[in-house]
Amino acid sequence: MRKYSFIFAAVLALAACRQVQPQAFSVIPMPAEVSVSEGAYSVAGKAFFLDPRLDNASQDAIWRFKDALEAATGRTCPLGKGDIQFLMNPELAPEQYTVQVSKDGVVVEASALNGFVYACETLKQMLPAAIYGGKKAKAHWVLPYVSIQDQPRFAYRGMHLDVSRHFWSVDEVKRYLDVMTVYKLNRLHWHLTDDQGWRAEIKAYPKLMEVSAWRNGTVIKKDWGSNDGIRYGGFYTQEEMKEVVAYAAARGITVIPEVDLPGHMVAALAAYPELGCTGGPYEVWTRWGVAKDILCAGNDQVFTFLEDVFTELMDIFPSEYIHIGGDECFGGDAEPNRPDPWDVCPKCAARMKALGIKKGPQAKHYLQNYVTGRVQAFLNAHGRKIIGWDEILQGDLAKGATVMSWRGVQGGIEAASRGFDAVMTPNGYCYFDFYQTQERDKEPFGIGGDLSLEKVYSYEPFEGLAPEAEGHILGVQANLWTEYITTPEHLEYMLLPRMCALSEVQWCAADKKDYVRFNASLDHTFEMLDAMGVNYSLDCRGLVGLDRQPARSAEEMEEYLSHKDWGW
Ligand code: ACM
Ligand code: ZN
């Protein structure tokens, strides 16, 4: 098989003599094995054949592809003996697929929903971008003759969305999922709760919707004493969350809900102050940063609350993992002179004593282990696993937890070396709220930090790991925190095209990545996003991707990675 390094010459030749669209192999993420031959197959109005063994979800995914093709070509594709065949091949892994295009037509093979979804997405990317537009378009509706064998490098290919700092409607979340589908991501990490707003309807605790879902204003930029005075908020009903879960599942995406605990809980404390160490009163936070007040680890009511909340969420979210947060519980920045509540709370002190936790700087971490472990035991008893931010590793984390490495790569490396599974989401490579060009005056106001497209692309998740620990790295995720992101256009701008680069980190074998090839593929991806009406950053790309980002000195690189300029 010829590899894709030969493809471009082939495609250029093909484009010249056959008028095939030159974007034919600008597929992102690049499939594992691609072999092109001369010729192209016209797809408009061709009959579809679906193997009767396909399950309903796979059939629905193929119908969506057929609908898009019919809308764009203006020609009906009948069901029949099949020029475009979708066949069940039980020997393939669930996310694997093959595509053959020849003079005889198109043959797709997969064994499960995700494989069929990804085959359809690859076919769509090989067609003119107008297929993403949902309406009839004049274009050369052909697929090049090609043989593709494809499967992902990592099983966990995630994208996070913060809906607390700013709230995103169900339609906006679906659109986010649509874009994730194009680039073959399979996990949405839904950050549903934080200090600035609780977004999930919990029927047992109505004040979460009446009080915790609303804040009395929002800080203006980084002027911490300021407040725009505009009441802001919202929440998803349980029916809406189920709708999102179903929409995602139809596209092979699992939604993992996060309830961030025991820190980042001020919104919940505002409604139920008895769950905090001091008893309040508390207000839903109107500024960004890290709050001092967290759930009281010495109060059993807190665990009743958490178990009730997770019981309702488990009915909505069938995910194997439930995210329990765990980040930034101590040292809140808003009241620097105030001690951490766990250091001075009599109930927390009594709990530490009962647990035999020795006084000292590590005591709080062991107490956090107790909280994490108690929630973990509850969720495990209900057949779920926990995943949490890398702070949960501090002290003595119980077996079976999965760690999300965000403060750089070290948490993931340590987790894997201690035998825990990990998802890598290091802020130096995966925080999409950071600026994407160095011309900040031309960028929308942001939280700080720099993360260029090229830097995202350069990430190698196994770097620094012992070979025997590599199996603990489940995959990679990028995070999109929304403190300074208020509109869907801005959200999409921060997401794209960095998510395209992320998708190659998640999908492609390390030796198949090639930034110049990837960057050239963006021409076609931008046309696709234009057709979808999705916003993106053009400037982050650079002219060929390499000449726009100035080389950094070692000091600049250190500064860049430490994100000293986050702003709080
Ligand atoms: C985080 O960014 N605080 C997980
Ligand atoms: Zn306490």
Closest atom of ligand 1 to 325 CA is: 4
Report field, pTM of the whole predicted structure over 0.85: yes
Q: Give 402-434 pLDDT, tens digit per residue.
A: 999 999 999 999 999 999 999 999 999 999 999
Ligand 1 neighbourhood includes 288 CB (under 6 angstroms): no
Could you tell me which of 43, 30, 80 has the C-alpha nearest to residue 518?
30
Is the pLDDT at 486 greater than 60? The verdict is yes
Distance 207 CA to ligand 2 centre (A): 22
Distance 224 CA to ligand 2 centre (A): 27
For residue 513, how many C-alpha atoms fall within 13 Å in the half-sphere facing its CB? 20
Which ligand is the nearest neighbour of the Cα of 189? 1
C-beta of residue 285 within 8 angstroms of C-beta of residue 564:
no
Instruction: Report the residue among 162, 328, 333 best suited for mutation to probe ligand 1: largest number of ligand atoms under 8 A from its CB.
Output: 328
86-100, 234-248, 275-289, 529-543: which has the minimum mean pLDDT?
529-543
Q: pLDDT band at 501, cuts 50/70/90?
A: very high
List, in order, residues 6 or more apart from 8 with CB less than 8 Å away. Answer: 25, 517
Closest atom of ligand 1 to 481 CA is: 2
Instruction: Report the residue among 165, 389, 429 best suited for mutation to probe ligand 1: largest number of ligand atoms under 8 A from its CB.
Output: 389
Distance 347 CA to ligand 2 centre (A): 5
Ligand 1 neighbourhood includes 109 CB (under 6 angstroms): no
Q: What percent of the chain has pLDDT over 90?
A: 88
Is the pLDDT at 224 greater than 80? The verdict is yes
Is the pLDDT at 506 greater than 80? The verdict is yes
Q: Give 39-96 pLDDT, tens digit per residue.
A: 999 999 999 999 999 999 999 999 999 999 999 999 999 998 889 999 999 999 999 9
Which ligand is the nearest neighbour of the Cα of 323? 1
Ligand 1 neighbourhood includes 327 CB (under 6 angstroms): yes
Q: Which residue has the higher pLDDT, 548 or 134?
A: 134
Q: Give 543-565 pLDDT, tens digit per residue.
A: 333 333 433 444 544 454 444 34
- pLDDT value of position 438: 82
DSSP for 501-539, please give it: HHHHHHHS-GGG--HHHHHHHHHHHHHHHHHHT----SG
Ligand 1 neighbourhood includes 434 CB (under 6 angstroms): no
C-beta of residue 146 within 8 angstroms of C-beta of residue 99:
yes
- Distance between CA 384 and CA 377 in Å, rounded? 9
- Cis omega (within 30 of 0) on the bond before 29? yes
Q: How many helices (H) and strands (E) does the chain have?
A: 18, 18
174-178, 233-237, 359-363: which has the minimum mean pLDDT?
359-363
- pLDDT value of position 555: 55
Distance 298 CA to ligand 1 centre (A): 25
- pLDDT value of position 484: 97
Q: Give 296-330 pLDDT, tens digit per residue.
A: 999 999 999 999 999 999 999 999 999 999 999 99
Report the Cα 165 to chain-centroid distance in Å.
17
Distance 327 CA to ligand 1 centre (A): 6
Which ligand is the nearest neighbour of the Cα of 566? 1
Distance 303 CA to ligand 2 centre (A): 13
- pLDDT value of position 564: 36
**Residue 415 — φ and ψ, nearest 5°?**
-55, -50
- pLDDT value of position 21: 43
Is the pLDDT at 11 greater than 70? The verdict is no
Q: pLDDT band at 482, cuts 50/70/90?
A: very high
Closest protein CA for atom 3 of ligand 1? 327
- pLDDT value of position 25: 84
- pLDDT value of position 82: 87
First to last CA, the chain: 53
Distance 431 CA to ligand 1 centre (A): 9
Instruction: Report the residue among 259, 288, 327, 483 best suited for mutation to probe ligand 1: largest number of ligand atoms under 8 A from its CB.
Output: 327
Arithmetic mean of pLDDT, 281-290:
97
Q: How many CB atoms lie within 10 A of CB 419?
A: 9
- pLDDT value of position 236: 98
- pLDDT value of position 24: 54
Closest atom of ligand 1 to 427 CA is: 2
Catalytic annotation, residues: 194, 264, 328
Q: How many CB atoms lie within 10 A of CB 68?
A: 19
- pLDDT value of position 17: 37
Ligand 1 neighbourhood includes 389 CB (under 6 angstroms): yes
Closest protein CA for atom 2 of ligand 1? 406
Q: Which residue has the higher pLDDT, 502 or 21?
A: 502
Query: What is the chain's mean pLDDT, rounded?
Result: 92
Which ligand is the nearest neighbour of the Cα of 339? 2
